[in-house]
Amino acid sequence: MSIIDKVKGYLRSRILQKKLEGRRRNRQAGSLATAGEIFVIYDASEEYQNKLTEDFFAELKSMDIKVKSLGYARYKIIPHYCIPQLTRQFICKKDLNFLGIPALPYLDDCLNEEFDLLISLDMSQDPVFQYIAALSKARCKVGWNDPANLPYYDFLVKGKDGDLSDFISQLIKYLSINKS
């Protein structure tokens, strides 16, 4: 990691801490049985990841759950397979500032909305996803089980390393068990 990346990481964490100081949210236990609206953030850099998340959204919608999502593609432009819709938005590197912080008006609206659940399908601990998860006012935040995620999430789930489909099935399993 270069010195510039370390400085960017430090500045990003300081900005995040400043924004979190006065931010309050209504924490509650979350489950798929009680969720009305879910916000999903995921890595849309590869086509197969996008397809897996589309299948996940279809499964959630079959449970009568409203799903909004934000996909992050780690490219300068959004790939051809990422088709924005009313409930699905995408960001790419050009939507990030110098420090790697997303700076979009519609993102602020999503961060201020009180979703029943925020689900992060990011298994790489990308700072973009951590920033979004940390600032979200979702009542319950669920993500990948990693020590770097402890300050930002309420519930962490572990799956096979690098296997998104296993991670999604573990999420469904554990969020279905919880009936609160």
Q: What is the 3-state secondary structure (H, E, C) of 62-119?
A: HCCCEEEEEEEECCCCCCCCCCCCCCEEEEEHHHECCCCCECCHHHHHHHHCCCCEEE
Return the closest-CA partner of residue 159 out of 85, 56, 90: 56
Categorize the per-residue pLDDT at 151 as very low, low, confident or very high, splitting at 50, 70 and 90.
confident
> Quick one: average pLDDT of 2-12?
91
**Topology of the domain covering 3-177:** Rossmann fold (3.40.50)
User: What is the predicted pLDDT for the residue at 20?
Assistant: 85
Write out pLDDT tens, residues 17-68.
Answer: 898 887 888 888 888 888 889 999 999 999 999 999 999 999 999 999 999 9
Return the closest-CA partner of residue 131 out of 3, 14, 35: 14
Q: What's the length of the chain? A: 180
Q: What is the mean pLDDT of the chain?
A: 89
Domain boundaries, the chain: 3-177
pTM attached to this predicted model: 0.91
